[in-house]
């Protein structure tokens, strides 16, 4: 791994209802996800900028993928945590941890998505 490469480049968020989850994430983050299939795996890919900073990933519906509060926690960068939490609560998700300061590194919050996954937000303000 290069010293100039972030160690994570892809994430997968398990879902039971791909269309519902796609609409949830598109509404909350103002993104357009693209539907794709790879064999038995059905996915909705988050947008990606080739060579851009950060990681991208997918919502995934496939055998062995189960939505959960346990395990790895994915953080989405936002500019307004409270605004994102309002959208989350209005679209079938729920806040698990309110906006919390992490000192000079900004603020975080945790939420449950419409599928039952624990996911997080990060903002510098």
**Does residue 2 surpass a pLDDT of 60?**
no
Mean per-residue pLDDT, 55-62: 96
Lowest-confidence segment of 4-8, 54-58, 101-105 by average pLDDT: 4-8
Angle formed by the axes of helices 81-90 and 18-29, to 10°? 150
- C-alpha dihedral sign at 125, 109, 45, 114: negative
- Give the mean pLDDT of the chain: 95
List of residues 6+ apart from 101 with CB closer than 8 A: 107
**Does residue 19 surpass a pLDDT of 50?**
yes
3-state SS, residue 63: coil
**Does residue 70 surpass a pLDDT of 60?**
yes
């Amino acid at each position: 791994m290069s010293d100039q490469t972030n160690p994570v480049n892809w994430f997968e968020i398990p879902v039971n209802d791909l269309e519902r989850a796609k609409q949830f994430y598109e509404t909350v983050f103002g993104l357009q996800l693209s539907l794709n299939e790879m064999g038995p795996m059905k996915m909705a890919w988050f947008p990606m900028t080739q060579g851009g900073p950060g990681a991208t990933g997918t919502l995934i519906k496939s055998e062995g993928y189960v939505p959960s509060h346990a395990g790895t926690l994915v953080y989405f960068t936002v500019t307004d945590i409270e605004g994102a939490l309002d959208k989350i609560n209005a679209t079938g998700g729920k806040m698990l941890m309110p906006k919390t300061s992490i000192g000079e590194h900004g603020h975080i919050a945790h939420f449950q998505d419409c599928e039952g996954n624990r996911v997080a937000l990060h903002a510098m303000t």
